[in-house]
Amino acid sequence: MNDLPPKNLSASVHQRLLNNARKTGRPFNEVLKFFCMERFLYRLSKSSLADTFVLKGALLFRAWDTPDRRPTMDIDLLGYTDNAAEGILHAIQKICITHVEPDGIEFEPDTVKSTVIKEDAEYEGVRSLFQGRLGNARIPMQIDVGFGDVIHPQALEINYPTILEFPAARLRVYSLESVVAEKVEAMVQLGRLNSRMKDFYDVWLCARHYDFLGTSLVAAIQQTFANRGTQPTPFTEIQIEIHNNPHLHAQWQGFCRKSNIHKLDQFESLEPVLQRFLERPLDAVQSGTTFTMCWAAPGPWQDVQRS
């Protein structure tokens, strides 16, 4: 399939991505961007840096085939390496030129620019911008690398799903518990609802579709809060901030439009699910008590059945 000359291969891939966009009803540019990010992750998995990074962020929901997941335009990674921008720049360049089976995509190492993410961003780290290319189509790439976070339970290893029939990346990824823990910590620590709509949505998504052991989720939240120096907060305080935000409706509407989400036009639709899912674990974190219940999606928390 991939024995075509480079020009013909890129044209073939372009057409197949166009067919995929028509079949799925997704915008072509979104499908193209996802394909480009997928092929970068494949190069990462084949590089000598494969064990240096762990995938996190919204791309995980694609890996898990989560229904109603939101689109994302960047790659989020946890880095086990020096956090200097220059070091990440060289790492991204190395991944860009990693030799893999032809897939029509080329990454341009000379275009990589890496800068420290300022403290008013979602987290401190390094952001790298560069160009990918499929034939004459240019695809802007963004990779955000964070450092020093904890994962509980340990990182998982998965085969990242492919859009077309190309080899899949074998990657280490965040645990579901740590995905929730970091998003909850961001809600509490940043106190900026204008930029956290996606986190409320993602936690709602996790509560709707995935099962949790209370002990494991509480441990992940405890470790994340302790590692980031954030004081535990009851869910009622998050609710107070929600209700005191006069711009909440407009912010939620804007997030839904941007993310092409049509099922939840009112933020109030999320709140009961978030309360049922987070209230008891956050109470356990704050009080330091053991929480042994289990969550079978879409909830509520129940006592563990013993045989």
Q: How is 270-293 classified by DSSP, letter by letter?
A: THHHHHHHHHHHHHHHHHT-----
pLDDT attached to residue 262: 83
What mean pLDDT comes out for the span 180-186?
Answer: 94
Contact 57, 76 (CB under 8 A): yes
Q: Beta-strand (E) ranges in 11-50?
A: none
pLDDT attached to residue 95: 99
**119 pLDDT higher than 70:** no
**79 pLDDT higher than 70:** yes
**121 pLDDT higher than 80:** no
Angle CA 282–287–291, to nearest 5: 60
User: Is the backbone of residue 141 left (phi > 0), alpha (psi -120 to 50) or beta?
Assistant: beta
Residue 28's Cβ-side half-sphere holds a number of Cα atoms within 13 Å equal to 9
Q: Beta-strand (E) ranges in 246-295?
A: 294-295
- C-alpha of 98 from chain center: 24
Dist. CA 117–CA 112, nearest whole Å: 15
State the amino acid at position 247 in one-letter form.
Answer: H
What percentage of the chain carries pLDDT values higher than 70? 93
pLDDT attached to residue 130: 99
**61 pLDDT higher than 60:** yes
**307 pLDDT higher than 80:** no
Least confident among 75-84, 192-201, 252-261, 271-280:
192-201
* Length of the chain measured in residues: 307
**Mean pLDDT, the chain, whole residue set:** 92
Which residue, among 90, 203, 108, has the nearest Cα to 145 in the 3D structure?
90
Tell me the C-alpha to C-alpha distance, in Å, between residue 302 and each of 67, 128, 299. Answer: 24, 44, 8
Q: What are phi and psi of 139, to 5 degrees?
A: -120, 115
- What is the separation, in whole angstroms, between the first and last Cα of the chain? 52
User: The tokens 């995905």 sit on which residue?
Assistant: 179
Domains of the chain (ranges, CATH numbers): 6-174 (3.10.450.620), 177-302 (no CATH)
Helix (H, G, I), strand (E, B), or coil: what is residue 222?
Answer: helix
pLDDT attached to residue 193: 46
Task: Tell me the β-bridge partners of 114.
Answer: 128
Of the two residues 124 and 297, the one the predictor is more confident about is: 297
What mean pLDDT comes out for the span 262-286?
Answer: 93
pLDDT attached to residue 190: 60
Least confident among 40-54, 128-142, 190-204:
190-204
pLDDT attached to residue 2: 55
Contact 235, 275 (CB under 8 A): yes
**109 pLDDT higher than 90:** yes
Task: Tell me the β-bridge partners of 116.
Answer: 126
Predicted structure pTM score: 0.92
User: The tokens 């949505």 sit on which residue?
Assistant: 201
What percentage of the chain carries pLDDT values higher than 90? 79
